[in-house]
Structure 1
Amino acid sequence: MPDLRDLRGRPLGRNGNPASARPAHAAGHRTRAQERIDEIDVSPTKLLADIEALKGELESTRTKVDEYLAGLQRERAEFTNFRRRTSEEREQMLGLAGEDLIRKVLAIADDFDLAIDNRPPEIADNSWVEGVAAIDRKLRALLESEGVRPIDAEPGTPFDPREHEAIATVPGSGRAEGEIVDVVRRGYKLRDRVIRPALVAVAAGEATNDAADAPPTH
């Protein structure tokens, strides 16, 4: 077959196109990539050492992650506790402010009690007196709507130091010792907590005959 060439003198292939140049590696030349590959140590010893090093780095990273996570959890717990304490303190402050206001209102309720209990009989049916009593009822309803309830201290009720405050003892009242004889001032609870004990007079025990007949000691 004749040696075919193009107008520039380049050899032509069988299909009439210029013959492709031979690749560089076919002529014995090495590329930079091949040289870099040859420089890489892929021996089993080197690979095992690299694996152990990576394991150490992974373990160190996990330890740091656990430390950061624990620190974050502590911060979140402290923040949650801070919010709870702040909320409780706020509720407590509001509660104290509310109690102070309620005590002032109770002082006004005491004045209504005195006015109604000591009204002269001749004006008991007066419309003005009825108006005062209506205002008193509205005031009681307002207190009840806020959770304020009167303490039970009717005569005959057993004295309870948690709810009652004895300011007098009454001998010969006909009631059992320790029972309430009279209420001097109403007491109140705010929900389940006593905010003002009831002032009461309590029946005293009768002296025994032996004690009454005993001569005085000097």
Structure 2
Amino acid sequence: MKLTEEEIKETPLKDEDSQAEVKEEKKESKKEKKDKYKETITKLEEEKKKLEEDYKNLKNEYLKAYAELENTKKRLKEEAIKDRKYASQKVVGELINPVDMLQMIVNMPAPSPEVQNYVIGFQMITNQLVDILKAEGLAPIVANVGDEFDPRVMQVVDTAYEEDKKENTILAIKQAGYMYKDRVLRPVMVLVNKKIEEKKEEAKAESEENIVS
């Protein structure tokens, strides 16, 4: 069957259109692949960034937890050392007053030779107790009449004023004080030299504070 002239003319055109369509399809296919590749790369980069952030956060949390653990271990160790160091403080503190009373008794003059024999025995016991307490870390606070008042180791029980004495100095020691290792176990109770005017001003200030509160 012979083709007409018109059919012959149209046939090459159809082939050309077909080829153009194929080329266009290939072009679109390449573009889609390229777009998918770019999309995949973008997703992977986002996932990488997220993983890096998660890793950074986990690392920070780990370092924080590790630091807290080390601080806790250090604190517990220090507390254990401190507890061992001051383990006897309560017992030593409770024995101070009885030992003070014993020392006062044995230093009093005996009314008779018979009582004096008992006093000697009590003196020996008192000395033994004092030696035991010293071995545990007890030490008397050195304070003498005429010394300047030291609020770190002393406590004022009353004040008086003597013109021939310096102000803020000790006029009398009412009760001995003791240190337990590096702690004040009981402050020295003292009478301090202070002018009456200053005492009145202090009393007035305390009264005003009480009214305000």
**TM-score between the two structures when normalised by the length of structure 2:** 0.56
Aligned counterpart in structure 1 of residue 175 of structure 2, from 180, 185, 192: 185
Find out whether 1:139 has 2:129 as its counterpart: yes
Tell me if 1:68 matches 2:70. Answer: no
C-alpha spacing 1:56/1:171, structure 2 compared with 1 (3 Å): closer
Structure 2 distance, partners of 1:200, 1:80, is 46
Task: Measure, in 1, the Cα distance between the counterparts of 2:189 and 2:120.
Answer: 27
The number of residues matched between the two structures is: 165
Match of 2:210 in 1: none
CA drift at 1:86: 5.2
Q: Which residue of 1 aligns with 2:140?
A: 150
After superposition, give the CA deviation of every residue in 1:148-190 in whole Å (9 maximum; x if it has no partner). 2211122222222332223344556964443323322111122
The letter for the 1-side match of 2:95 is: V
Q: Residue deviations 1:6-29, cap 9 Å, x none?
A: xxxxxxxxxxxxxxxxxxxxxxxx
**Is 1:173–1:181's contact at 8 Å kept on the other side of the alignment?**
no
- State which structure, 1 or 2, has the greater radius of gyration over its C-alpha atoms: 1
Moved more, 196-205 or 43-52: 43-52
Match of 2:152 among 126, 138, 162: 162
Separation of aligned partners in 2, 1:121 and 1:180: 33
Matched, 1:79 2:79: no
What is the rounded CA distance, in whole Å, between the counterparts of 1:124 and 1:157 in structure 2? Answer: 40
Query: Percent identity over the alignment?
Result: 24
Task: Give the AA of the match of 1:58.
Answer: K
1:142 is displaced (CA, Å) by 2.5
* 1:56-135 correspondence runs (5 A): 56-84=46-74, 98-120=88-110, 123=113, 126-135=116-125
1:203 and 1:96 mapped to 2: Cα distance?
A: 35
Q: What is the CA-CA distance between 1:104 and the residue it aligns to? A: 0.6
Unaligned runs of 5+ in 2: 1-32, 198-213
1: CA distance, partners of 2:161 / 2:106: 29
1:55 and 1:205, CA in 2 relative to 1: closer, same or farther beyond 3 A?
closer
Please tell me the residue identity of whatever aligns with 1:134.
M
Preserved CA contact (<8 Å) 1:188 1:194:
yes
Please list every run of 5 or more consecutive structure 1 residues that lacks an aligned counterpart in the other structure. Answer: 1-42, 208-218
Partner SS for 1:199: strand
1:201 paired with 2:188, answer no
Shift of 1:205: 6.1
Return the offset for 1:114: 1.4
